[in-house]
């Protein structure tokens, strides 16, 4: 059985240096999905945004919305950031990703209903619901998610080798170190980028196929 694998890079837009490494990994064919933090994207990133849009149009990566809740006005915030994503990229996000938030549990129902209303999957709800939501017409398989940032290469290799699922998801936070960024994962980003390179080496010649959140790729799970 061919196992389909989504490798996602979080935090596009957080930093130009993070963006640079994400775009390199996309171009190298080593990640198939990224999620954008729209409130961090500014005019200085326009060239990088245009390049990501081009990669999306070529179907070599899917781009999702990385919602960052700063308050409990969940409905208006997710609607605002969804619209801002459309304005920046010119298309709807292929998935919704939730940035870490102390308010997440209280907003779970709003997040779930919004994703369902748009017919797109949502990830990063572990502890509050299904890992990847089952949305009619998109994904009915509940794909196990692994945080590559939190796991060693040996742990990831073992997880991939032992899996009997037909769709898997690994999430990373790659980038170049940015001395001006306040990201708590700043120092880990170059390590994450190297992990992505090495995981790609591991799955080479094995029974894995890299896929994205593109509905045309995932509709076989309907």
Domain residue limits, the chain = 3-221
Distance CA 3, CA 113 (A): 29
Predicted TM-score (pTM) of this structure: 0.89
Give me the architecture of the 3-221 domain, per CATH.
Answer: Alpha-Beta Barrel (3.20)
What are the backbone dihedrals phi and psi of residue 19, each rounded to the nearest 5 degrees, phi first?
-55, -45
> Contact, 6 vs 176, CB < 8 A?
no
| Residue reference for tokens 């080798």 | 161
Q: How far apart are CA 36 and CA 24, in angstroms?
A: 16
Output the tens digit of pLDDT for each of the chain's 222 residues.
788 899 999 999 999 999 999 999 999 999 999 999 999 999 999 999 999 999 999 999 999 999 888 888 889 999 999 999 999 999 999 988 876 655 566 777 788 788 888 888 877 554 444 444 444 433 333 567 788 999 999 999 999 999 888 888 899 999 999 999 988 889 899 999 999 999 999 999 899 999 988 755 554 332
CA distance 57 to 104: 32
CB atoms near residue 118 (< 10 Å)? 17
Nearest to 94 by CA among 140, 42, 43, 57: 57
Q: What is the Cα 122 distance to its own chain's centre? A: 10
Q: What is the DSSP string of 86-101?
A: HHHHSS--S-EEE---
Q: What SS3 class is residue 158?
A: helix
């Amino acid at each position: 059985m061919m196992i389909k694998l989504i490798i996602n890079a979080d935090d596009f837009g957080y930093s130009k240096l993070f963006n640079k490494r994400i775009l390199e990994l996309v171009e190298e064919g080593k990640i198939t999905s990224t999620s954008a933090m729209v409130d961090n994207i500014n005019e200085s990133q326009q060239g990088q945004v245009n390049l990501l849009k081009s990669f999306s149009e070529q179907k070599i990566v899917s781009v999702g919305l990385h919602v960052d809740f700063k308050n409990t006005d969940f409905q208006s915030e997710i609607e605002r950031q969804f619209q801002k994503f459309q304005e920046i990229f010119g298309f709807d996000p292929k998935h919704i990703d939730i940035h870490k938030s102390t308010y997440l549990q209280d907003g779970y129902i709003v997040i779930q209903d919004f994703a369902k209303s748009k017919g797109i999957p949502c990830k990063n709800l572990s502890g509050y619901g299904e890992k990847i939501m089952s949305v009619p017409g998109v994904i009915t398989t509940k794909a196990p998610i692994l945080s590559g940032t939190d796991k060693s290469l040996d742990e990831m290799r073992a997880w991939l080798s032992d899996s009997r699922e037909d769709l898997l998801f690994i999430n990373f936070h790659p980038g170049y170190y940015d001395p001006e960024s306040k990201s708590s994962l700043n120092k880990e980003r170059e390590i994450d980028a190297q992990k992505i390179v090495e995981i790609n080496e591991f799955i080479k010649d094995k029974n894995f196929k890299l896929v994205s959140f593109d509905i045309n790729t995932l509709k076989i799970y309907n």
